Amino acid sequence: MNVGKESSVTLQRIVNNLDWQGLNPSQRRTFEQRLNAHFPRLFGLLLDIYPSRYDLHFHCEDLVQRLLRGFLQRNNRLKALDKQRLKDPHWYKSQDRVGMSCYVDLFAGDLQRLKARIPYLQAWGINYLHLMPLYAVPEGDSDGGYAVSDYRRVNPALGDIDDLRALAKALEDAGISLVLDFVFNHTADNHPWALAAQQGDPVYQDYYYLFDDKTVPDQYEHHLREIFPQVRRGNFTWNDAAQKWVWTTFNSFQWDLNYTNPEVFKAITEEMLFLANIGCEGLRLDALAFIWKEMGTDCENQPNAHKLIQAFNCCLQIAAPAVVFKSEAIVHPDEVVKYIDAEECQLSYNPLLMALLWNSLATRKTRLLTASMQKSFAISPDCAWVNYVRCHDDIGWTFDDDVAASLGINGTDHRHFLNQFYTGRFEGSFATGVAFADNPQTGDCRVCGSMASLAGLEQAIEKDDPALIELAVKRILLLHAVTFAIGGIPVLYSGDELGLLNDYSYQSDPDKRHDDRWVHRVALTDDIIDASLHGTNPHHGIVDSLQHMLSVRRRHAIFGEGATDILTPYNDHVFAVARHLNNQHLVALFNFSEQTQSLDGRILEALGPKAAGDDLLTGKHYQASDALSIPPYGVVWIGANLDGN
């Protein structure tokens, strides 16, 4: 079949039947132009995903009508933003993009008080703010907000939808791009769709994966991972009301949506446009790897998952093109990169870099980091990594076992070592972390803990040892420094910018104590901020140095649009990155050991013909003819020919 011809005939019919009420001629022109540009792809994708749906034409028409409604509900301010972003699609690649992610309640109390924290964000130069899910949730455990009972209502503890709209506007006025969660793999079991399914409504039972008995679930189960084995074994939950087994990849109260049903795609598209129209500029695609199930596979990263995301992206291009997607694929590195494309997810977490920074900190060796980044860092020039050191989740050791094997490292054994190291079960470790999701069957686990506690600050403060405190602070700066320099948007996890330690209070909260990720979900009170910013404690030193590095980053375009080259430093303890932008060059060197490291000066040949330059952080001059000396846990950013001041 000729999809091109088919789609233009289909589109013509749809356009003729659309209800255009409420649009002025210029709006109608804009919408039609975008339909012409993106519908053919959308149609092709839907045909691929739903090949046997005889009613696909009906669904396409219904979908486009919903897109039109979403477009119509978009206010003029956001429509202007659409135009602006289309003219400057690389806005997220600028060197002055710096992000933060936080929980509304932990960061500020509620949405109104978050507005009052905007000056704090500005003091950090934050212009990308990811707010953890703030939607209505069930009482008690809601997986930190990732069990959504209603995408259009705000959790009353945080405010209401008008507060959210007002905040979005205030952030926009302050030049801060808002990023919201798009939790589209599952809903809470008390979402109206799930409630209707429980009451036996066949239309809504089709929104989820429900089974009369365990036969089919057991066939699937054979190939599936378990994400939270500490709270429940297996991926299916018995529901008494419905008298069915329900697919629940995460917690028992998070019901996986059934995207083999085109009604689900359309319904979720509408929820997505509602979020877009609040005024966010990024949607974080939660757990996107899991959205398509295929018998006989692990039901992660399936080809149709990619097609669905591309189809959602087409819908945004038509109705709200200012909004970009950020992928949350915490999977094998070869799979992570497959989500990154201008037509799929423009942004992506970089879990490989995150995990390997911690690996290098533990081992004091950078070979796995270097080899892995050389293999996996390059992505489409239209896209950007979101580089982070910690986030609200645990650390999983998602490196490529083949790359590890090529360096003589056994992946399984090495993960075991890392888990021991970061959970206080390895003698001499500086880290204070907590094991998470222990799987008694596989012996797997993952690691929780705040940046500062994992980097040694908690132990050092307990021992009241200034030398250990200094080392811990340097580790904190070192890891952040890589994320500031390597290329992409660095996103600070709120609390880490002040070096806050683990908070064990969750252990006495019955809704939280089974989920150790709460250990690194720490509240930022005014007192804590005050003490960190103005005291003489180690936190104060962290703040000053991080802000200094960020101010250097902001000054030079090379940190934004510059191409990244991962260098081979011929020193097992040093990680080296070059950036190039026309005739401007940067060599960034990071020493992951407690000893001074010396390095062959020829690495500076990456700086162009002069092979020399000044450290942007200290002003010190470096040249290729000398051996370079990098202090313990040192960071050196040598620039040559840079624009900026």
Least Å distance between CB 139 and ligand GLC? 18
Calculate the alpha carbon distances from 269 to 71, 113, 311, 312 in Å.
12, 31, 10, 7
Q: Which of 326, 193, 306 is nearest to 256 (CA)?
A: 193
Binding status of residue 134 toward ligand GLC by CB under 6 A = no
Determine the size of the site formed for ligand GLC (CB under 6 A): 14
- Which segments within 98-159 are labelled E, that is strand? 99-102, 128-131, 135-136, 150-154
Q: Contact between 516 and ligand GLC (CB under 6 A)?
A: no
Q: Does 245 bind ligand GLC (CB under 6 A)?
A: no
> Binding string to ligand GLC for residues 136 to 175, with x set by CB under 6 A, is what?
-------xx-x-----------------------------
- The answer to whether 287 contacts ligand GLC (rule: CB under 6 A) is yes
Crossing angle of the two packed helices 56-72 and 303-319, in degrees rounded to 10 = 40
Residue with tokens 């204070």: 432
Catalytic (active site) residue 286: yes
Q: Which stretch binds ligand GLC (CB under 6 A): 195-203, 386-394, 532-540, 570-578?
A: 386-394
393 CA to centre of own chain: 10
**In whole angstroms, what separates CA 234 from the centre of its chain?**
26
Q: Return d(Cα 175, Cα 186) in angstroms, integer.
A: 32
Residues 6+ apart with CB under 8 A from 291: 184, 185, 257, 259, 305, 308, 309
3-state secondary structure of 447: strand
- Residue of 110, 226, 394, 496 interacting with ligand GLC (CB under 6 A): 394
**Element (H or E) spanning 186, and its range?**
strand 186-188
- 250 touches ligand GLC (CB under 6 A): yes
Q: Which is nearer to ligand GLC, 396 or 634 (CB)?
A: 396
Active site residue: 181, 286, 394, 444, which one?
A: 286
* 8 Å CB contact between 178 and 165: no
Least distance in Å: CB of 351 to ligand GLC? 9
Cross-strand bridge partners of residue 589: 576, 636
Q: How far apart are the first and last CA of the chain?
A: 58
Structure tokens at 645: 């001041």
CB of 358 to ligand GLC, least distance (A): 15
> Helices 76-87 and 161-173: crossing angle, nearest 10°?
40
Among 393, 458, 497, 615, binds ligand GLC (CB under 6 A): 393
Q: Does 286 bind ligand GLC (CB under 6 A)?
A: yes
Least CB distance to ligand GLC at residue 283 (A): 14
Q: Which of 226, 328, 344, 400 is catalytic?
A: 328
Nearer CB in complex with ligand GLC: 146/247: 146
* C-beta closer to ligand GLC: residue 135 or 207: 135
Burial 434-467 (b: 16+ CB within 10 A, else e): bbbbeeeeeebbbbbbbbbbbbbbbbbbeeeeee
Helix, strand, or coil (residue 352): helix
Cβ-Cβ contacts under 8 Å for 219 (sequence gap 6 or more): 295
Residue 484, C-beta contacts closer than 8 angstroms, at least 6 positions apart: 490, 549, 550, 553, 559
- Nearest to ligand GLC of 145, 217 (CB atom): 145
Measure the CA–CA gap between 451 and 607, rounded to whole angstroms: 32
Question: Whole-number minimum distance, CB 393 to ligand GLC, in Å?
Answer: 4
Question: Ramachandran region of residue 369, left (φ > 0), alpha (ψ -120 to 50) or beta?
Answer: alpha
Q: Which of 227, 268, 371, 404 binds ligand GLC (CB under 6 A)?
A: 227
Residue closer to ligand GLC, measured from CB, 414 or 579: 414
Q: Which residue number, 287 or 587, has a Cβ lying nearer to ligand GLC?
A: 287
Minimum distance, C-beta of residue 183 to ligand GLC, in the bound complex (Å): 6
SS3 584: strand
396 lies in the binding site for ligand GLC (CB under 6 A): yes
In the bound complex, what is the minimum distance in angstroms from residue 133's beta carbon to ligand GLC?
Answer: 8
- Judged by beta carbon, residue 279 or residue 396, the one nearer ligand GLC is 396
Instruction: Rule CB under 6 A: say whether 330 interacts with ligand GLC.
Output: yes
CB of 330 to ligand GLC, least distance (A): 4
Q: Assess 336 for contact with ligand GLC (CB under 6 A).
A: no
Quote the tokens at residue 319: 């109705």
Please state, as a whole number, how many other Cβ atoms lie within 10 Å of the Cβ of residue 123.
11
- Which of 82, 300 has the CB closer to ligand GLC? 300
Per the annotation, the verdict on 281 as an active-site residue is no
Nearer of residues 14 and 227 to ligand GLC, judged by Cβ = 227
Q: CA-based Rg of the chain, rounded to a whole angstrom?
A: 25
Nearest approach, Cβ of residue 437 and ligand GLC (Å): 7
Which residue lies nearer to ligand GLC by CB, 185 or 591? 185
Shortest Å, Cβ 515 to ligand GLC: 9
Site string for ligand GLC, 452-491 (x = CB under 6 A): ----------------------------------------
- Helix crossing, 466-485 with 538-555: angle to 10°? 20
For the annotated catalytic residues, the residue numbers are 286, 328
> Which residues of this chain interact with ligand GLC, rule CB under 6 A?
143-144, 146, 183, 227, 250, 286-287, 328, 330, 392-394, 396
